[in-house]
């Protein structure tokens, strides 16, 4: 006998008109940007550094690749999205561990990290706050209580203990900390992006929001990516004061504050796709910018420490997966918890 699942995240419509309009806006803007890139690449004398044009077109290729993969996950609905972010986490963690080499005694610890804790985190995300009966869930089960502590508590304690049982004490603290940091940034933090799909939203006044959580997820990923783009653009146009030259000489205070304002304005303009009022969307855009900058600076510091330029190779001329998502990794938990606290039913 079919059991009607209780009203909750599993029953909220996956996508509605605003979702498709938001996707159309993104594709339209990306299409215009592609035309601009083609024109710049074909003209020899445009008064712009040719290396900058090449970097711009390389970045567009990354965005198109991300759009295609994201679209495939979108049509597979919620589980597709969770699987997508899980695979991205796995690949990003692989790049992180490759960038920060470990010893033979860490191999069994890494097995647990890659094949136990990473999948388990996303399985708990997939179960969500109110899993449907086909997943064995019942109304009122909230797996947030599990996926919010599984890695920072249990995995973080397990990693050094398992490494100790391997019997290798050389640089023990450094090795354990590297694995813990990789798991925290690449898996735990990033997993809060698909966890947004768990939330049922309300507007500030308390009225239920009739939109789709996937629109909020798309909104978040978009503004996180735009924050980095605007920061680099403002840095090129008006950058004078470098934040930390030895960490990243291209990141300036002018770029940072310019990105906060510009990203906030874009986020406010897209409020119609979210449960937020314009000023709320703009404020969230500014917060995401702060965290995106923090993610970029942190990964730059790690790369400088390890003596590498990029974490990997995603497409020719434009770094690795972790280089593309460090802003999302740092912003996702903050965005999730702000929306959960203030706008979640």
pTM summary value: 0.88
> How many domains are contained in the chain?
1
pLDDT digits (tens, 9 = 90+) for 272-300: 999 999 999 999 999 999 999 999 999 99
Asked if residue 170 belongs to a domain, the reply is yes
pLDDT at residue 55 is higher than 90: no
Asked if residue 228 belongs to a domain, the reply is no
Greater model confidence, 204 or 97: 97
pLDDT at residue 312 is higher than 80: no
- Domain ranges, residue 137: 78-198
pLDDT at residue 94 is higher than 60: yes
pLDDT at residue 2 is higher than 50: no
- Give mean pLDDT, residues 47-61: 73
pLDDT at residue 256 is higher than 50: yes
pLDDT, position 210: 85
- pLDDT band for position 121 (50/70/90)? very high
- pLDDT band for position 211 (50/70/90)? confident
SS (H, E, C) the chain: CCCCCCCCCCCCCCCCHHHHHHHHHHHHHHHHHHHHHHHHHHCCCCCCCHHHHHHHHHHHHHHHHHHHHHHHHHHCHHHHHHHHHHHHHHHHHHHHHHHCCCCHHHHHHHHHHHHHHHHHHHHHHHHCCCCCHHHCCCCCCCCHHHHCCHHHHHHHHHHHHHHHHCCCCCCHHHHHHHHHHHHHHHHHHHHHHHHHHHCCEECCCCCECCCCHHHHHHHHHHHHHHHHHHHHHHHHHHCCCEEECCCEEEEEHHHHHHHHHHHHHHHHHCHHHCCCCHHHHHHHHHHHHHHHHHHHHHHHHHHHHHCCCCCCCCCCCCCCHHHHHHHHHHHHHHHHHHHHHHHEC
Asked if residue 96 belongs to a domain, the reply is yes
Asked if residue 234 belongs to a domain, the reply is no
pLDDT digits (tens, 9 = 90+) for 226-249: 999 899 889 988 888 999 988 988
């Amino acid at each position: 006998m079919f059991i009607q699942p209780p009203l909750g995240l599993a029953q909220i419509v996956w996508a509605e008109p605003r979702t498709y309009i938001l996707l159309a806006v993104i594709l339209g803007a990306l299409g215009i940007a592609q035309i601009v890139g083609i024109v710049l690449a074909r003209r020899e004398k445009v008064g712009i550094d040719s290396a900058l044009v090449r970097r711009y077109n390389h970045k567009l290729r990354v965005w198109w690749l991300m759009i295609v993969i994201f679209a495939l996950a979108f049509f597979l609905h919620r589980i597709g999205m969770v699987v997508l972010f899980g695979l991205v986490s796995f690949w990003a963690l692989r790049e992180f561990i490759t960038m920060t080499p470990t010893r033979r005694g860490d191999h069994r610890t890494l097995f647990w990290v890659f094949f136990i804790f990473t999948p388990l985190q996303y399985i708990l995300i997939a179960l969500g706050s109110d899993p449907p009966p086909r997943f064995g869930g019942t109304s009122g089960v909230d797996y947030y209580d599990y996926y919010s502590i599984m890695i920072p508590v249990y995995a973080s304690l397990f990693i050094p203990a398992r490494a100790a049982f391997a019997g290798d004490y050389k640089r023990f603290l450094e090795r354990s900390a590297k694995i813990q940091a990789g798991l925290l940034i690449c898996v735990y933090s990033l997993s809060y992006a698909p966890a947004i799909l768990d939330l049922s939203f309300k507007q500030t006044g308390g009225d239920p929001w009739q939109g789709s959580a996937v629109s909020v997820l798309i909104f978040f990923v978009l503004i996180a990516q735009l924050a980095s783009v605007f920061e680099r653009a403002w840095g090129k146009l008006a950058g004078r004061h470098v934040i930390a030259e030895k960490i990243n000489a291209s990141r300036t205070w002018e770029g940072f504050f310019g990105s906060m304002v510009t990203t906030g304005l874009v986020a406010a303009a897209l409020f119609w796709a979210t449960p937020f009022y314009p000023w709320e969307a703009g404020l969230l855009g500014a917060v995401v910018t702060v965290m995106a900058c923090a993610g970029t600076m942190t990964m730059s510091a790690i790369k400088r420490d390890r003596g590498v330029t990029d974490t990997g190779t995603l497409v020719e001329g434009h770094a690795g997966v972790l280089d593309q998502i460090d802003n999302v990794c740092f912003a996702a938990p903050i965005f999730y918890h702000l929306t959960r606290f203030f706008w979640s039913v």
